[in-house]
Structure 1
Amino acid sequence: MSQLASLWATTTRVPVIGRRIFSITFSQKAPYFASIRPLVTELRPNFAAVRIRDRRRVHNHIGTVHAIALCNGLEMAMGALAEVTIPADKRWIPKGMEVAYTAKASSGVTCIAETDQEQWDAADGDLAVRVRGVRDDGVVVIEGTINLWVTPKKS
């Protein structure tokens, strides 16, 4: 079990505040994540969900959740997924992100990252993580892929 998976298992034993404690701790690993005050709501191999609240601090000029805040949430979800999914003999680094903005983010947004285990088992180079952001009413506001470079760990 990865350190992140272990931290998730430990902190989420505490109802309600466990996810907040986990989210704050994980945000310390990459401090820029803290700018969106994320809440990791679900984490397991091949799946992660991160919640971004609709608040002024993440708004753009038209009063909706800013595209870059959404991308930040998607990247956090992807990173959490990668850490709890990747086989112990491999490592990963992001290569790029391709997203489409499909609707206004006029409410809180849940950023979701998903893969299939077969992708990780066969990974030797490129691996595409599917990402999307879903508004409170179920409308997808952003979707795309985050491309990772997955290689064997050096011994």
Structure 2
Amino acid sequence: MGDWLFGKVISRRAPYFGTISPRITNVRPGMCECLIKKRRGVENHIGTVHVIAIANGLEMAMGTMAEASIPKHLRWIPKGMTLDYTAKAGSDIRCVAEVDQSAWQPGDMPVTVTAYDVNDTVVVKGTINLWISEKPKKS
């Protein structure tokens, strides 16, 4: 219930994530995993999980990882996403975002994202590029 509830709380803060009904299954500094259940609402015309739903899950994993990882004096914003579709996504999908904790420096920062099916086959892989900057000084 905790994973489900955590996913719902994040989806309430960023409502678009609710379209995939995500479940955060693991989060720690430098890494987050979320699960997308294969269901009609995320399928495409051939009955596999639509790549845009997977991209949404990868972005959610990245954002959750970023919030759990970023040093307090920094802030982040996504700049772009590059994805390769490597296999059909015919099952539940596990979305993983990972970055080395030492990478949190002002400037461009690539975050590795990978989506796996239930057999641990990579179905989507890529990078989400973040812009990292210092938080403004409070007056």
Is 1:104 aligned to residue 88 of structure 2? yes
Deviation track 1:112-137 (CA, whole Å, cap 9, x = no partner) reads: 000001101xx111000000000001
- Give the ranges of 4+ consecutive aligned residues of structure 1 lying more than 6 Å apart after TM superposition: none
- Percentage of identical aligned residues: 50
Q: Report deviation, 1:150.
A: 0.2
RMSD of aligned residue pairs (Cα, Å): 0.5
Give the equivalent residue in structure 1 for 2:127: 145
Greater share of residues in helix: 1
Q: After superposition, where does 1:83-122 map in structure 2 within 5 Å?
A: 83-120=67-104
How many corresponding residue pairs? 137
Which amino acid is 1:79 matched to? G
TM-score with structure 1 setting the length = 0.88
Q: What letter matches 1:136 in structure 2?
A: V
2:21 partner letter: R
Classify the secondary structure of the residue corresponding to 2:47.
coil
| TM-score of the pair, normalised by structure 2 | 0.98
Cα separation, 1, equivalents of 2:47 and 2:4: 25
Structure 1 unaligned residues grouped into runs of 5+: 1-16
Match of 2:23 in 1: 39
2:35 paired with 1:51? yes
